[in-house]
Structure 1
Amino acid sequence: MRGAAGYALTAAVVLLAGCGGPAAEAPADRPPSPSSSPSTPATPTPADPTSSPTTTEEPRPAPVGADDFRVGRAEAVVRHLAGTIGPRHGTSPAFARAVRWVDAELAGLGYRVEQQRFRAPGGVSWGVPVPAGTSVNVVATPRGFDPARPHLVVGAHLDTVPQAPGAEDNASGVGVLLAAAHAAAQRRTRLPVVWVAFGAEEPRGPTDDDHHYGSRAYVAAMTGRERTAMQGMVSLDRVGVGATVPVGSAGASDPVQQSLLEAARRARVAALPEAESRSSDHWSFVRDGLPAARLGSTSYAAYHSPDDVPAVVDRAQLQRTGRIVLAWLSPSG
């Protein structure tokens, strides 16, 4: 019995050992634990060295047109120049004040502004002695302007005779100039525009050579390439009186006058052609062989007098003139 019992015990131990061995192994196809075997990171796709970053083009400005003129801006200029500053002959402290103000207005619109200084002689201006001194043209150009490339000039004289506040002669012209410059600042014109507020236009003597000093200085400073590039000039002079807009040519007629008359037609403004019109700054250009014409010149009772105050200027006539200017500058013409 003892031998049989020992055999049985031995057999039981063998059976238990046989059952326990295979159960302790993990199956061969079980996936490894994430913590015990890290995964291989994905390889990034290299950037294409020939590709370029995406760029967004700035939208092209809308074209300027007659409907963009805001007459209230022109009226405000008339009130400031004639009402606040008052008489401002071309070498006076009041004129210097007007220069600073116009300079700041144009610079505030984003134009590049320069002051072109020149000497004006002493003399007698409409019966009143005026001293010699330095006068100034305020010249504003758009950013990136190249004077050797085709462009236009719009000008208006800033000075007055000594005794006149100069609402019509010529705060009206400067008012239309600044309001038109405001409209054109953020819009597209058919050619770049130079805006000029001329000094010392008013007479300092009896002859043709005794006035228009500022525009003559401007023309004298033009280079040969600039003269070739300038496609036309318009002088805004006494543009706030009347029911039709005079369009003056220094001769019988000229292409600039005709283009202004066509602009008036497009702007739906009544305009009247005038021949032999030479009593404004456009004459300095024409007499030197450059294309130019004038808007304005209707006669009025307060001319060159203390009565030339803002009340003389007609809002509707400023509007008519401004519409012609912007139609002339418009690429849609």
Structure 2
Amino acid sequence: MSAAYRRAADIVAGEFGALGYAVRRQRVPVPAGVSWGVAVPAGTTVNVIADPPGFDAGRPHVVLGAHLDTVPQAPGAEDNASGVAVLVELARMLREQPAALPVRLVAFGAEESRGSGWRWYAFGSRHYAARLGTSQRKAVRAMVSLDRVGRATAAVPVCHGGRGSTAVAEKLRAAATDRTRACVNRASDHVSFERVGIPAARIGSVPYDAYHSSADRPAVVDPSQLRRSGNVVWTWLRSL
């Protein structure tokens, strides 16, 4: 785990803790590999998990997640500080107006790929999903990944991973008061949940020139798009 990632995890954990969530770090082993042309060593990262007071992982709930890492050459403003920012804001809103189902929030480590194929990316979310017991897995009624949610676009992308139920994406779109569009995306943490039978969806994935480059800085993120992306999730949560 790099010093920069450790600082980011501490910041997010502090934000969750200040809102009254019970916060813990789940350690995740990560293999050596090549991340978008840059060799990276084996090591350990963490998922930052935040639960509301009284949360019981064995009872029905939903999971909202956003990956906290980026690739070595990118500051990661859109990919994926944008998703983390919306996740933290939704955490604040949920403390003021809890949803009908409890919501667990997770900032996932090591989403970015270290090689070719699905086994070489989304290490944090795959680790999380693989370690759910049978009753805990059944208790997760839906998972939504917030990934690259800040690029201006006419319609918020609401994607499923193509490996499971499309119900979560459909319900997100049905509840939305903002314009959305359907899509299939197999490259984020929602796929880890689909693979173990948990209905999941992804918000975001608009292409942009600064993707995985040193130019992925705050100027590429549109605050209005952050609001629209967050609102799609919020209206869905209110509909549960």
2:175 corresponding residue in structure 1 = 263
* Among candidates 281, 285, 297, match of residue 205 of structure 2: 297
Check if 1:250 corresponds to 2:161: yes
> What are the residue-to-residue correspondences of 1:3-22 with 2, within 5 Å?
none
Query: What amino acid is the match of 1:311?
Result: A
Tell me if structure 1 keeps the 8 A contact 2:109–2:123: yes
Write the distance in 1 (CA, Å) between the matches of 2:104 and 2:231. Answer: 18
Query: What amino acid is the match of 2:38?
Result: V
Write the distance in 1 (CA, Å) between the matches of 2:3 and 2:175. Answer: 38
Name structure 1 gaps, 5 residues minimum.
Answer: 1-90
1:274 corresponding residue in structure 2 = 183
Write the distance in 1 (CA, Å) between the matches of 2:72 and 2:50. Answer: 26
2:66 corresponding residue in structure 1 = 156
Residues 4-56 of structure 1 show CA distances to partners (whole Å, capped at 9, x for unaligned) of xxxxxxxxxxxxxxxxxxxxxxxxxxxxxxxxxxxxxxxxxxxxxxxxxxxxx
Query: What amino acid is the match of 1:190?
Result: A
CA RMSD of aligned residues (A): 1.1
1:193 corresponding residue in structure 2 = 103
Tell me the secondary structure at the aligned position of residue 164 of structure 1.
coil
Tell me if structure 1 keeps the 8 A contact 2:66–2:84: yes
Tell me the secondary structure at the aligned position of residue 100 of structure 2.
coil
Write the distance in 2 (CA, Å) between the matches of 1:112 and 1:221. Answer: 19
* Among candidates 104, 107, 111, match of residue 21 of structure 2: 111
TM-score normalized by the length of structure 2? 0.97
> What are the residue-to-residue correspondences of 1:1-333 with 2, within 5 Å?
91-243=1-153, 244-251=155-162, 254-264=166-176, 268-275=177-184, 277-330=185-238, 332=239
The Cα shift of 1:242 comes to: 2.7
The Cα shift of 1:118 comes to: 1.3
Tell me the secondary structure at the aligned position of residue 136 of structure 1.
strand
Residues 93-126 of structure 1 show CA distances to partners (whole Å, capped at 9, x for unaligned) of 1001101111111000000001000110111100
1:74 corresponding residue in structure 2 = none
Residues 158-202 of structure 1 show CA distances to partners (whole Å, capped at 9, x for unaligned) of 000000000000000000000010111121202000000000000
The Cα shift of 1:258 comes to: 0.7
Name structure 2 gaps, 5 residues minimum.
Answer: none
Query: What amino acid is the match of 2:171?
Result: S
TM-score normalized by the length of structure 1? 0.70
Write the distance in 2 (CA, Å) between the matches of 1:220 and 1:319. Answer: 32
Residues 291-325 of structure 1 show CA distances to partners (whole Å, capped at 9, x for unaligned) of 10100000000000000000000011101011111
Q: Point out the structure with max Rg over C-alpha.
A: 1
Tell me the secondary structure at the aligned position of residue 74 of structure 2.
coil
Write the distance in 1 (CA, Å) between the matches of 2:69 and 2:86. Answer: 15
Query: What amino acid is the match of 2:158?
Result: V
Write the distance in 2 (CA, Å) between the matches of 1:190 and 1:152. Answer: 10
Between the two proteins, the alignment pairs up a number of residues equal to 238
Write the distance in 2 (CA, Å) between the matches of 1:217 and 1:128. Answer: 23
